Structure 1
């Protein structure tokens, strides 16, 4: 059975950091997110055009990485149907109370071990007077702080094997592949999945260390390409490590910049972000190993750390035995 429009979008992510104070400073003062609450070892932050309570839950931890990714469904009925499919796949964790602003959530894991959750009930953000926008169709006033990213765009997971997890998201959640990388061996090294007309929401790329459950990056959308160029200066002024970019990806045609936040997690700025896929009979674009060896569409050559750095860090050096050497992630 074809599953369509059961998942609305990526709602929020919980990011782990061993440097909570510095990571909090990065996301508020440098990236321009607004803090909307704190609970225990976590703070809740939001991008200025997110309609929900929060976009990012930042949690103090002994290491870096992503704890969970939350997806909002189209309805309560869609949530119930997806829960049944997850249970039938044998990957359920179970129901739990949601974070502030979120109703009951259903937690599960993909075959690689990444934790995800589904929810429907959501509290729409009500800004305080000082953040009330002039336009009633905008979630809050533009904060004019740092980069001022507009919204969360996508999550890129590292996975020991790409196909089991992407097939699970296709079968249980209705994800569809827009683009992928196929190695000469036939192995899928990367796959870009979407749930609606946005060309990608979740990405899985092969972890050349052979580890499970790691993060490659989370990505935030900016309004314009010029915002990314300005962001590079802001990162430079604030001593934020720029890993690579600005360049243009061949896959998905994204203009991008990658940095490491103080906790060690890779963060992407992107624009244009996901393209619109309007064709209901879209056929996945498959990139070959030779095509991906050419690197980016334009810009500098992809640097080695882009293929090897992930969080949490693992003390394993990638080599031929880990999969034959890296091929461009995006």
Structure 2
């Protein structure tokens, strides 16, 4: 039985691992324009200017790159208890923790592939210090005067050994709705885009060709306009940020994109999906075939090979 849409409100924040903490933090603050909101035990907490919570991203020092925790805010305490019950009914283990600033209790579990997911309700609304207060009271923080100035954390794309199983878990247990997917000629689902709200997607699962578990394809930050992404490309070449592919437009979800690598090795997407919402309650799942995907992106750009091979943490060949 599919859980009802709405118990999970939105993607809250993601924790990235990096072998070069200072350089990674510099990338997110200087290039993307995020603000540091705290430090704790080898982790730095950062936020986008239009996020209402304490942090949008946690960057943690580690021996390698990758993703640790992905946190999802639920819509109420009752919704949290319902989802915890369904997680247990599905046979997934979990535990309660309270280990992040500005966040209350989190229920930490994993998806079938081993990615750490945390659900929470209690959160501290961000109060900007005087130097970051906005002119408009319905905006949590003034726009940054440096870097790209990304607006919010948009989505996370996990690599998975079994896309369908992970998509089913999000759909049946957490109440996500799949909006688009890729089905190979063999019948196997190679990619699936899922949403918890009226956004076109919050979480993506992409097939991990190495057969590994628990790896990351990328995290994505949304910009105000397409022009911000074009400017980001210029800033990247001026500051030595590696551009993997783009700017261009995806066929799937029609997102305007630029993919770069942060110094720790994690892939980061800058995207502009803000004009595309899924408002229809009976939105049909769009399925792309293997032949259709061979055509590349929306305007004919072929998908770069590293898009299929690069993930974090790296896997030994």
> TM-score if structure 2 supplies the norm length?
0.98
User: Which whole-Å deviations, capped at 9, do the CAs of 1:165-184 have from their partners, x for residues lacking one?
Assistant: 11011111001110000000
Q: The residue matched to 1:252 in structure 2 has which SS?
A: coil
Q: Distance in 1 between matches of 2:276 and 2:181?
A: 15
How far did residue 240 of structure 1 move?
A: 0.6
Q: Which residue is 1:201 aligned to?
A: 202
Q: Distance in 2 between matches of 1:183 and 1:78?
A: 36
Preserved CA contact (<8 Å) 1:245 1:299:
no
Q: 1:274 to 1:308 in 2, by over 3 A?
A: farther
Q: Which residue is 2:41 aligned to?
A: 40
Q: Distance in 1 between matches of 2:62 and 2:91?
A: 29
Matches for 1:115-134 after TM superposition, within 5 Å: 115-134=116-135
User: Which whole-Å deviations, capped at 9, do the CAs of 1:52-72 have from their partners, x for residues lacking one?
Assistant: 000001000000000010000
User: Which whole-Å deviations, capped at 9, do the CAs of 1:211-267 have from their partners, x for residues lacking one?
Assistant: 110000000000000000000011111101000000110000000000000000000
Work out the number of aligned pairs and report it.
316
How far did residue 98 of structure 1 move?
A: 3.8
Q: Structure 1: where are the runs of 5+ without partners?
A: 317-330
Preserved CA contact (<8 Å) 1:17 1:59:
yes
Q: Which residue is 1:320 aligned to?
A: none
Q: Which residue is 2:21 aligned to?
A: 20
Q: Which residue is 1:326 aligned to?
A: none
User: Which whole-Å deviations, capped at 9, do the CAs of 1:6-40 have from their partners, x for residues lacking one?
Assistant: 00000000000001010011001111000011001
> TM-score if structure 1 supplies the norm length?
0.94
Preserved CA contact (<8 Å) 2:5 2:177:
no
Q: The residue matched to 2:79 in structure 1 has which SS?
A: helix
RMSD (Å) for aligned C-alpha atoms:
0.9
Q: 1:54 to 1:147 in 2, by over 3 A?
A: same
Q: Distance in 1 between matches of 2:136 and 2:118?
A: 32
Preserved CA contact (<8 Å) 2:113 2:160:
yes
Q: Distance in 1 between matches of 2:48 and 2:57?
A: 8
Q: Which residue is 1:105 aligned to?
A: 106
Q: Which residue is 1:172 aligned to?
A: 173
Q: Distance in 1 between matches of 2:93 and 2:77?
A: 18
Q: Distance in 2 between matches of 1:58 and 1:4?
A: 30
Q: Which residue is 1:53 aligned to?
A: 54
Q: Distance in 2 between matches of 1:70 and 1:62?
A: 22
Q: Distance in 2 between matches of 1:142 and 1:279?
A: 32
How far did residue 46 of structure 1 move?
A: 0.2
Q: Distance in 2 between matches of 1:300 and 1:192?
A: 21
Q: Which residue is 1:284 aligned to?
A: 285
Q: Which residue is 1:220 aligned to?
A: 221
1:266 and 2:267 equivalent?
A: yes
Q: Which residue is 1:319 aligned to?
A: none
Q: 1:152 to 1:19 in 2, by over 3 A?
A: same
Preserved CA contact (<8 Å) 1:29 1:145:
yes
Q: Distance in 1 between matches of 2:99 and 2:170?
A: 22
Preserved CA contact (<8 Å) 2:13 2:57:
yes
Q: Structure 2: where are the runs of 5+ without partners?
A: none
Q: Distance in 2 between matches of 1:139 and 1:87?
A: 36
